[in-house]
Amino acid sequence: MVQPNTDFMMPNVNFFGPNVIKGIGERAKLLGMKKPLIVTDSFLRNLENGPVKQTEASLNAAGVDYAFYDNVEPNPKVRNVTEGKQAYKDANCDSIISVGGGSSHDCAKGIGIVLTNGDDITKLAGIDTLKNPLPPLLAVNTTAGTASEITRHAVITNEETKLKFVVISWRNVPLVSFNDPLLMLDVPKGLTAATGMDALTHSVESYVSENRNDITDAQAIQAIKLISEYLPQAVADGHNVEARTKMAEASLLAGMAFNNANLGYVHAMAHQLGGQYDAPHGECCAALMPTVEKWNMIASPQRFADIARFMGENIDGLNVWEAGQKAIDALQRMSDLVGIRTVKQLGAKPEDFELLAKNALLDGNAGPNPRKGTQADIVELFKEAYNK
């Protein structure tokens, strides 16, 4: 019996639905923001009528001044955090608005962290390491997704060591977030697939996590159902507003689940692939998930049988192991259907697996995985996923 974790923390405000972005200027004004730093990348900044232009329009209408840091890289690096802090100081900013996917939000959190908690963010990896609050942070989310716009996690890559590390603290949670599915209509197919599989990994890892509770279960279950139904549709037609809206909702639910239940070995191992090879995070998760969850099954077989049912599999007449295997097959089928690459295709090299396995066990997400492994076990999992 898993010890119930009965605390539940979800302290921010999230505006959800078509056109909620139009309210960001008034919200910034209400919060007394005089000059936020908009943290984004140059592609999004220049996208005609895109999320940044719409944020600017709303800030302009409300008479709120702003400055930019628009050099966020995917898998944001320590150098992005350092540059962003400098941009904040140079422009005399008093607050931050992140616009984009997980990379923009995490970089914005990182900038806030070094502004108030000391220059060296690599020293703040871990749980509840932040002593001081960040400057006010609003998050405009444009992928479905990481859910970083509502979570307490900031994932940053140390470009010198090629290690992805996580700063986990309630001080990281943005004050207000915006999930406007209309901002997601032009997300390309590959990114739609990768981010959707990231959200599926969040919900599956939360559902089998040792830190789960009834509230996180409810969120994870609904997220798994929505993603199973709507991710293929969002990949097939990015302008399907219903599919985009349901995927944004699923991402949010999965984020609420893992913000409390935490994750497991899929994320701990995916961070190693992302750090070492700069591979897209959602694809790293998806390429590892069937292998890792099959290995996890003996720790919690009924949970995997449940997942098969939530994913729409017919498990009538099957025993718990056969039903659990259906979940693993469904996860693999979903990855194949939306075009996820294999661990090998993502650039992994078997000679690195010992180091990646060692670091995966040190990752902040490894703790609540339902089955405990040694470094040798993790090497085997990397090998198995690589040889698919």
- Please say which residue, 267 or 294, places its beta carbon nearer to ligand NAD: 267
Q: From residue 94 to residue 133, what is the string marking binding to ligand NAD with x (rule CB under 6 A)?
A: ------xxxxx-x---------------------------
Q: Applying CB under 6 A, which part among 17-25, 83-91, 126-134, 190-198 lies near ligand NAD?
A: 190-198
Query: Using the rule CB under 6 A, is 170 a contact of ligand NAD?
Result: no
Q: CA-CA-CA-CA torsion for 169, 170, 171, 176, nearest 10 degrees?
A: 130
Give the DSSP letter of residue 228: H
Q: CA-CA-CA-CA torsion for 258, 313, 300, 207, nearest 10 degrees?
A: 10
The footprint of ligand NAD on this chain (CB under 6 A) covers a number of residues equal to: 32
Alpha carbon 272 to its chain centroid, in Å, reads: 15
Angle between helices 214-236 and 301-310 (to 10 degrees): 40
- Select from 55, 80, 98, 143 the one that contacts ligand NAD (CB under 6 A): 143
Give the DSSP letter of residue 41: B
Query: Using the rule CB under 6 A, is 203 a contact of ligand NAD?
Result: no
- Please say which residue, 104 or 211, places its beta carbon nearer to ligand NAD: 104
Question: What's the half-sphere exposure (Cβ side, CA atoms, 13 Å) at 160?
Answer: 3
383 in Cβ contact with 342 (< 8 Å) = no
Segment 271 to 290, residues that bind ligand NAD, using CB under 6 A: 274, 281-282
- Please say which residue, 263 or 361, places its beta carbon nearer to ligand NAD: 263
Query: Using the rule CB under 6 A, is 191 a contact of ligand NAD?
Result: yes
Distance CA 214, CA 13 (A): 22
Residue ranges in 212-352 assigned as alpha helix (H): 214-236, 241-261, 265-277, 281-296, 301-310, 320-338
- Minimum CB separation of residue 325 from ligand NAD in Å reads 27
Binding site for ligand NAD (CB under 6 A): 41, 43-44, 51, 74-75, 100-104, 106, 142-143, 145-148, 151, 153-155, 183-184, 186-187, 191, 195, 198, 274, 281-282
